[in-house]
């Protein structure tokens, strides 16, 4: 299973982004792909949806969304039945272990995302920022755009 990263959701819903069309097409595609059991083949970490709300409403964006619209989008994702990954009780232990391979505090939120994926046994991540996750050998990272 693959998880979706924040940047793909932001590009898919930010009409001013040069990657908007590609990201929107990709998100629509994967949100309609099901595995043999009928479940969606992707998941979305709760952290990603929280980060999406933060980024897509920033006034620095050329076309930010109002908070109300952004929260409706998050609710729409939740309503699809996509698996939302929440931190497990092992989150901090996993995070601390993974931080041993990191040399800068700027990676903490990326590593927290990786900890959630690892704790849930998710081995794939779709993201535009593949280099942010290179040091995690268990993670198969793909830029779908």
Residue in the block written with tokens 């699809």: 80
pLDDT tens digits along 4-52: 999 999 999 999 999 999 999 999 999 999 888 888 889 999 999 999 9
Domain that holds residue 70: 2-142
CATH of the domain at 98: 3.40.50.1010
pLDDT tier for residue 65 given thresholds of 50, 70 and 90: very high
Q: Report how many domains make up the chain.
A: 1
* Chain centre distance of CA 117: 10
pLDDT tens digits along 92-125: 999 999 998 887 777 889 999 999 999 999 999 9
pTM: predicted TM-score of the whole model, two decimal places: 0.93
State the virtual CA torsion across 54, 17, 125, 76 in degrees, nearest 10: 60
């Amino acid at each position: 299973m693959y998880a979706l990263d924040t940047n793909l959701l932001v590009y898919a819903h930010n009409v001013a982004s040069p990657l908007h069309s590609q990201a929107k097409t990709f998100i629509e595609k994967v949100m309609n792909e099901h595995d043999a059991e009928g479940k969606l083949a992707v998941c979305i970490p709760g952290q990603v949806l929280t980060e999406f709300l933060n980024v897509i409403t920033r006034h620095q964006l050329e076309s930010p969304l109002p908070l109300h619209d952004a929260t409706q989008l998050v609710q729409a994702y939740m309503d699809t039945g996509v698996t939302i990954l929440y931190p497990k009780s092992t989150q901090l232990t996993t995070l601390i272990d993974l931080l041993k391979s990191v040399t800068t505090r700027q990676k903490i939120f990326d590593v927290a995302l990786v900890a959630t994926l690892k704790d849930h046994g998710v081995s794939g991540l779709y993201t535009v920022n593949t280099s942010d996750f290179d040091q995690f050998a268990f993670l198969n990272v793909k830029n779908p755009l």
